[in-house]
Amino acid sequence: MVRVFIALELSDEIKDQLTSAQQTLRGCRARLTFVEPKNIHITAKFLGEVNEKDLPKVKEALKKIAFIPFPVTVEKITVNNPKRPHTVWCAIGDGGKGEKVFQLIEDALAPLGFARETRSFTPHATVARVKSPDPSLFSALKVLEKISYGCCTIRGMVLKKSTLLPQGPVYEDLQVFKW
């Protein structure tokens, strides 16, 4: 069994910009676990534990998804839930294209037995996880709220393997699907 997900990759320039936002967040008293900048991405769909013998079917289904590259803007950094924050993320502006890709992925993988997501797709990229909140987190977010982190073009998707280690996850590209 391997833990896998489908990602939409952001440019290295955007990841560099998000590193500076993480530095600001490090100044708050909330206990945060930061995502390695190289690992920051938009999750299109988390598949969970998949039997390795089923991976060729997953790859074949994803290979059939045709889409046109589309621009994204990495917008303000916020939290998933202001009352009980678990995730610090940057909102992604994509004109609804991410939702369309998500629906194509859902349609491609449902026949293989992957459950459809019950929540609506919210394009975002996680920059930190909140282990213990503190009001100073919201002060740091206020500093970051008017900053834009850049634009890039999503040119495909990546099937990634995630290996969880005590020091954090290690991602490995299993296959890149270009549009």
By annotation, the residues acting in catalysis are 41, 124
Residue 164 in tokens: 């969880």
How are the residues of the chain apportioned to helix, strand and coil, as percentages rounded to the nearest 5? Answer: 30, 40, 30
- The CA-based angle 67-70-75, given to 5 degrees, is 140
Q: What is the torsional sign of CA 65, 71, 77, 79? A: negative
Going by C-alpha positions, the residue among 110, 138, 112, 106 that lies closest to residue 32 is 138
Please, what's the b/e burial string for 15-51 (b: 16 or more CB within 10 A of its CB; e: otherwise)? bebbbebbeebeebebebebbebebbbbbbbebeebe
Main-chain phi, psi angles of 147, to 5 degrees: -90, 135
Q: In this structure, are residues 121 and 98 in contact, taking their beta carbons and an 8 Å threshold? A: yes
